[in-house]
Amino acid sequence: MKNIKLTIEYDGTSFCGWQNQPRGRTVQNEIEKALSILLKKKVKIYGAGRTDSGVHALGQVANFKEKIAIPTGKIPLALNGLLPEDIVIKSAEEMDPSFHARYSAVGKKYIYKINNTKFRKPLLRNYAYLVPYELDLEKMMTASKYFIGEHDFKGFMASGSSVKNTVRTIYSFDVCMIDNMIIIETRGNGFLYNMVRIMVGTLVDVGRNKIKAHELPLIIGSGIREKAKHTAKAQGLYLAEVYYD
């Protein structure tokens, strides 16, 4: 029995997210189908985290435990031949029996892209969040630094989530602009449901001068969802990396 860690890239556009669902195409299901063909038996995989419909991944991680005859290094090529074009297995590694993609994870990196042009960009419609208003980047950068550190992010979680402990540590939160694309990169020990998208939505409101940068600590401290404005679109979000010890 081997415990195999897969690193996965996918375009979330045509998926109803990562996690298996009664209906709708999911990334998990496509990979389980491919593995089941390869291993000639039903295989279940465990993902590091769910991604919503439309959210992309550059470095999602999953693991599965099975007797497998193929050398670990050959698994990506074998699976990629069975997988659809919008998913690719980037690597496979044999891990300790105790490794679990979700429970062993110690942190994650997300990237978020905002397309800040007046007219929509057809080629970016599924890959960035269109904000056709003038944004004050300096203010967004200033505000973003307040996210860094250990905070109770209760107000930055989508309602309906059942998570009890809403304290998370953000290690970095960087905002830069290349041409008309604002690229946000954040690393933390964990993220609540929709947390990155609510953080970005709040920063966009800072950029539009609806919220002042120095109000961010108050908004975070309040723990009230309504203080942390809108949820930025799924299409701009990329799960970039999952960290393990």
Q: Is 74 in the site for a second copy (CB under 8 A)?
A: no
The smaller minimum CB distance to a second copy, of residues 103 and 119, is found at: 119
Q: Is 10 in the site for a second copy (CB under 8 A)?
A: yes
Nearest to 93 by CA among 56, 55, 61, 115: 61
Q: Catalytic site residue 52?
A: yes
Shortest approach of a second copy to residue 167 CB, angstroms?
33
Q: Is 56 in the site for a second copy (CB under 8 A)?
A: yes
Measured from the Cβ of residue 176, the count of other Cβ atoms closer than 10 Å reads: 11
Binding a second copy (rule: CB under 8 A), the pick from 88, 95, 137, 177 is: 88
Shortest approach of a second copy to residue 178 CB, angstroms?
12
Cβ contact 234:113 at 8 Å? no
**Tokens representing 4?**
């195999």
Write the DSSP assignment of 139-150 as a string of letters. Answer: HHHHHHGGG-EE
Segment near a second copy (CB under 8 A); pick from 101-109, 123-131, 133-141, 201-209: 123-131
**Tokens representing 229?**
């404005």
Place of tokens 């979000």: 237
The smaller minimum CB distance to a second copy, of residues 124 and 137, is found at: 124
Nearest to 9 by CA among 30, 36, 40: 30
Intra-chain end-to-end CA distance of the chain, in Å: 23
Q: Is 86 in the site for a second copy (CB under 8 A)?
A: yes
* Site residues for a second copy per CB under 8 A: 9-11, 56, 58, 76, 80, 85-90, 119-123, 125, 127
Catalytic residues, by residue number, are 52
